[in-house]
Amino acid sequence: MSAFDTPGPGRTTCSQARAETSAAVQPLCAAAPRRLARRLSEDAMLVADELVSNALRHGDGMTRFSACVHDRDLVIRVRDRSARLPGDQPHDPTRPGGFGWFMIQHLSHHVSIDRHDDGKTITAVLSGVRPKEEEPARS
């Protein structure tokens, strides 16, 4: 059972979310060439970190988190208490940050938002890698 299946007062922390993401991405990385495995792992950690920090910073707190493998994709879900939808921030060189939502969308194969009476769930799907026998031949 993942943290996403367990509602209630025991909220997932940032470090727990990182550990769950790392554990979920390992099977995909094990089947991938080293270069792709490293990129997938790094992308997964960036997306998970941004989703969690956005839920904490802009979403009135994270209430649930999950990271799991479905087929050959990594699915990361974060639920928060705010109905406010994320959006791109205009670039302001005097203010740090503002690139998180853009980065999530860029690194993910698919991003969706489901609204609930008590907030929203953002789902990011990172494309996994093909098994080695399906990798294109190098020239």
Q: Residue 112 corresponds to which amino acid?
A: S
Q: What is the pLDDT of residues 102-124, one digit of tens each?
A: 899 999 999 999 999 999 999 99
Q: What is the pLDDT of residues 23-80, one digit of tens each?
A: 888 888 887 888 888 889 999 999 999 999 889 888 888 889 999 988 888 999 999 9
Here the CATH number for the domain that contains residue 99 is: 3.30.565.10
Residue 118 within any structural domain of the chain: yes
| Alpha-helix residue ranges (DSSP H) falling in 1-139 | 14-30, 34-58, 100-107
Residue 5 within any structural domain of the chain: no
Nearest to 72, CA basis, from 35, 100, 37, 115:
37
Residue 118 to residue 39: CA distance in whole angstroms:
35
Number of domains in the chain: 1
Q: How confident is the model at residue 132 (pLDDT cuts 50, 70, 90)?
A: very low
Mapping DSSP to helix (H, G, I), strand (E, B) and coil, where does residue 94 land? Answer: coil
Q: How far is Cα of residue 30 from the mean position of the Cα atoms in its chain?
A: 19
Domain that holds residue 57: 12-134
